[in-house]
Amino acid sequence: MTAKLSVNLNAIALLRNRRDLPWPSVTGIGRLALEAGAHGLTVHPRPDERHTRRSDLPELRALIDDEFPHAEFNIEGFPDDAFLDLVEANAPEQVTLVPDDPTQPTSDHGWDFATQESFLKPVVARLKKRGFRVSLFAEPDPAGMDVAKAMGADRVELYTGPYGSCHSDSEKAAKELEKLAIAAEAALALGLDVNAGHDLTVANLPGLVSKIPRLAEVSIGHGLTADALAYGMEETVRRFLRVLGD
């Protein structure tokens, strides 16, 4: 099984938003990524619109529908009513629910499924009723995977931030990889598919893929965008795809 690559466009949008100008074009860069072989696009539209804006979503939905019908649109976010309305208006193939506070600079932890079950369960049901695949952002911990499954989730996305932060400590990286592998096995045994994301790079992705060979999807933004400054978006996407074995 080869994991699919979804390119997170938030860093592109953040660069655009530094000026009151339409470039770099989030939709245009998304097109380059898909032309290079990316399997989908991810956005995380936060309430303050500091990167992806609500107005970006219809354009990205149209890009996929009109030019790349086999690609997928993944919308991430905290499931308040405004977010759920936005999701329903833009019909992504996948919705990834994250426990972000609006003031967080980026996602930095997964759900506590045991304590958040009563909040998440009706949200998952609402999204599943509309036909969306639902993924829940999860800690690299097997505890609570049974709750995620019972709530009706299709997938979990393992938070790989602690692993990504070990770029100069191979011993620590090996320990974090083991945690991720154990969590993935627990999820897979329950029938959940496993995604992964946060601080993944061309350098650390091979270890993850080796430890979780049944990985369904990786969502990569910051590291991929950083590489695109050196290699260009299309070549960068191809580099990540080669690591994934595609």
pLDDT digits (tens, 9 = 90+) for 125-144: 999 999 999 999 999 999 99
For the annotated catalytic residues, the residue numbers are 44, 76, 198
pLDDT of residue 7: 98
Q: Considering its fold, how many domains does the chain have in total? A: 1
The DSSP output letter for 3 is P
User: Maximum CA pair distance of the chain?
Assistant: 49
Helix, strand, coil % (nearest 5) of the chain? 45, 15, 35
pLDDT digits (tens, 9 = 90+) for 82-96: 999 999 999 999 999
Confidence of residue 108 (pLDDT cuts 50, 70, 90): low
Contact (Cβ atoms closer than 8 angstroms) between residue 124 and residue 149: no
Percent of the chain exceeding pLDDT 90 equals 93
Q: Which domain holds residue 208?
A: 4-244
pLDDT of residue 104: 60
103 pLDDT higher than 80: no
Tell me, yes or no, if the pTM score tops 0.85. yes
List alpha helices for the chain, DSSP H. 10-16, 26-35, 56-67, 81-90, 113-129, 145-150, 161-164, 170-189, 205-211, 222-231, 233-244
Q: What is the mean pLDDT of residues 151-167?
A: 96
Question: Phi/psi of residue 151, each to 5°?
Answer: -75, -15
Q: What is the mean pLDDT of residues 222-232?
A: 98
pLDDT of residue 168: 84
pLDDT digits (tens, 9 = 90+) for 13-41: 999 999 999 999 999 999 999 999 999 99
C-alpha to C-alpha distances, 101 to 1, 2, 98, nearest whole angstrom: 34, 33, 9
Average pLDDT of the chain is: 95
pLDDT of residue 227: 98
Q: What is the mean pLDDT of residues 116-127?
A: 97
- Distance (Å, whole) CA 173 – CA 171: 5
- Distance (Å, whole) CA 22 – CA 24: 6
Q: Which two tokens stand for residue 65?
A: 């529908």
Cβ within 8 Å of residue 231, ≥6 positions away: 239
Q: What is the mean pLDDT of residues 148-170?
A: 95
User: Which CATH number fits the domain that encloses residue 45?
Assistant: 3.20.20.70
